[in-house]
Structure 1
Amino acid sequence: MSASGSCKCEALIGALSALFGDLAWWPGTPEEVMIGAVLTQQTRWENVTAALDALRRKGICSIAGIHAAPSSVIEEAVRCTGFFRVKTRRLTALAEWITHRYGSVDAMRKRPTEELRAGLLSVNGIGAETADSILCYALDRPVFVIDAYTERICGCVGIPERGAALKRMFEAVLPPDTAVHRRCHAYFVEYAKQFCGKKRCETCILKNAFE
């Protein structure tokens, strides 16, 4: 990682922190967060919230609940998130992996981060963003989540790295504090929602500040 890249990452986090302060993001139990991390793929968070509510009403908003439930019951609950059959298969695969490998989420939490990440990535439909979201938000690991919002904003301010390289860059400049990693990831999501999605590039606070 170059010194200039490190400085830009630190400056970017500082600018976002000044704008948003202390964000509280992604509420829910660890198991609800895991389920939400799968459901949020290619949909809006409002739809995820509705699906989680439906799963709760059916009494299956947990890893054990998903593992035991018929696919048709899960599909009915998560239909509002789109690609509901695919997401049902992914939720079932995640629940099966956790149950067969660890027995419970509590037992899973005791394992090393590297082991957990490799295992999550082996589950059908779990990519780097979903795996890191589960690690950071559900399992309390200081792992930085890279998503399309993060890559887009970083690219606009002159940080060309993507994916794993960008993840390493942020993890090198942030303290090993899960709360900090969560808050900083939330900054990118909130900024993108307020500015990037509305085609307001000409008034982008960050782009203008880094030019």
Structure 2
Amino acid sequence: MGPSGWWPAETKRDIIVGAILVQNTAWQNADVGLQHLKNRTQLDPDAVLALTSDELIDLIRASGFYRNKAKAIHAVFQWFNDRNWDYDGIWRENQATLRKQLLALPGVGNETADVFIVYIFDQPAFIADTYTRRLFTHLGYNRTDTYQHLQSQVTLPADFTAEMAQDFHGLLDNFGKQYLQHDGDFEKSFLATELLKNQQAQKG
């Protein structure tokens, strides 16, 4: 399909903040907090880091879990600021340990770390988010109960690019929003027939 620019963002800093704010909430709520923070700071690192905890909380309150998210935004911005926001340089110098470093930051779990790798550092990775785990469960995969369990079962092709990974995540997310939010919706999808064929083959 080609790169679609699926993530709704103007800059990579938008993505960084959005990936934190969207945790455990709908994008509409996260976007309210993102826009408030952008209007106040233009996401300038010095301006964001100059905010007090209470000021940052007030700006992102609509996203929920705002205390933890405020702490995460501050920590992540400080981490990038310490590295001069040099995404390419950070990747070149830290490939072997980058994911571990990201996971050590407050508020950065497996999904957020992989979003950063795919969308910020432009590297291919498989994002095993909730919608994706639901889909793979429908498709007959075992051990989809946690992010790590599903991710360990999926190996991307050697020629899979970051653009492909970005679009793959976007397609899975859009599929999930349409067919995986309510019981019975999956049976209306184009993948339901494939699942039935797989089940029939297994029974045979």
Query: Above 0.5 in TM-score?
Result: yes
1:4 matched residue in structure 2: none
Structure number with the bigger relative contact order (C-alpha 8 A, sep ≥ 6) is: 1
Change (3 A) 1:115 1:62: farther
1:79 matched to 2:61: yes
Seen in structure 2, the aligned counterparts of structure 1 residues 97 and 24 have a Cα distance that, compared at 3 Å, is closer
TM-score in terms of structure 2 length: 0.83
Q: In the superposition, relative to structure 1, how do residues 124 and 195 fare at CA in structure 2: closer, same or farther (>3 Å)?
A: same
Residues 25 and 145 (structure 1 numbering): CA distance in 2 closer, same or farther, change over 3 Å? same
Q: How many correspondences in the alignment?
A: 191
Aligned to 1:34: 16
State how far apart, in whole Å, the 2-side matches of 1:70 and 1:108 are: 27
Give, in angstroms, the shift of residue 125 of structure 1. 1.8
Distance in 1 (alpha carbons) for counterparts of 2:44 and 2:155: 30
Q: Percent identity?
A: 25
**Within 1, Cα distance between the matches of 2:92 and 2:13?**
15
How many Å separate the matches in 2 of 1:183 and 1:174? 16
Instruction: After superposing the two structures, state which structure 1 stretch, 26-35 or 108-117, moved more.
Output: 108-117
Residue aligning to 2:125: 143
What is the aligned partner in structure 2 of residue 118 from structure 1? 100
Residue of structure 1 equivalent to 2:32:
50
TM (norm. structure 1) is 0.80
What is the DSSP-based 3-state SS (H/G/I as helix, E as strand, rest coil) of the residue aligned with 1:114?
A: coil
Q: CA deviation at 1:208?
A: 2.3
Structure 1 residue runs of 4+, over 4 Å off? none
For the residue of structure 2 that corresponds to 1:194, the secondary structure is helix
Equivalent AA in structure 2 for residue 189 of structure 1: D
Q: Structure 2 stretches of 5 or more lacking a match?
A: 197-204
Q: Describe the superposition over 1:163-198 as per-residue Cα deviations: whole angstroms up to 9, x where unpaired.
A: 335335444336330000011111111001011113
- List runs of 5+ in structure 1 lacking aligned partners: 1-16
Per-residue CA distance 1:54-107 (angstroms, 9 max, x = gap) = 11111152444332221122111101101111110111122233334x243444
- Cα distance between partner residues in 1 of 2:155 and 2:48: 33
Letter in 2 for 1:93: A
Whole-angstrom CA distance in 1 between matches of 2:134 and 2:103: 23
